[in-house]
Amino acid sequence: MADNDQVDEKKLSAAARLFDVRRVIGGLFVVYGVIVTVLGIFDTQDEIDKAQGVRINLWMGIGMLVLGLLFLLWLRLNPPEPPDPSDIDDERPPAD
């Protein structure tokens, strides 16, 4: 890539923020939670009978939604920090 280093650094940290794993898990589970909860609300009697009378879509949907929101909340309360200098690996090969 022809970009100079500073642009690269910026891009890197933007990518790192965007793709904090908590955001990925939170996002996916919120979407799954909404889909499955909506299904659960409209579940037919046949589907409930198949699940032995448990409204499983509703419960799992709400559960996943809550889990997703908790991850997003955690991210909100404790955003990714810039790398701690003491954590940086001294083993990186010199740029050549």
Partner 1 sequence: MLAAESGLRLDLDIVDYLILVLYFGTVLGVGFAARRAIKTSADFFLSGRSLPAWVTGLAFVSANLGALEILGMAANGAQYGLLTLHYYWIGAVPAMVFLGIVMMPFYYGSKVRSVPEFLKRRFNKPTHIFNAISFAVAQVLIAGVNLFALALILDALLGWELWISILVGAAIVLTYITIGGLSSAIYNEVLQFFVILAGLIPLTVIGLVKVGGVDGLFEKVRQSPLGDAALHTWSNTGSSADNPLGANWIGILFGLGFVLSFGYWTTNFAEVQRALSAKNMNAARRTPIIAAFPKLLIPAVTVIPGLIAAVTITGLGAKEGDLTYNNSIPLLMEQLLPNGVLGIAVTGLLASFMAGMAANVSGFNTVFTYDIWQAYIRKGRSDEYYLRIGRYATIGGVVIGIGTAFIASGYGNIMEYIQQLFSLFNAPLFATFIVGMFWKRMSPWAGFWSLLLGFLASLALYIAYLTDAITFNSALEQSFWGAGVAFVVAVIVAIAVTFFTPSKPEDELRGLVYGLGGTSQGTVIVSGEKVWWRNPVVLGTIAVVLALALYIPVW
Contact set with partner 1 (CB under 8 A): 8, 11-12, 15-16, 18-19, 21, 24-25, 27-29, 31-32, 35-36, 39-40, 43, 47-48, 50-54, 56-57, 59-61, 63-64, 67, 83-84, 86-87, 89, 91-93, 96
Q: How far is the CB of 12 from partner 1 (least distance, A)?
A: 6
CA distance linking residue 15 with residue 70, whole number of Å = 22
CA distance linking residue 45 with residue 53, whole number of Å = 9
- By beta-carbon proximity to partner 1, the closer residue of 18 and 77 is 18
SS (H, E, C) 52-69: CCCCHHHHHHHHHHHHHH
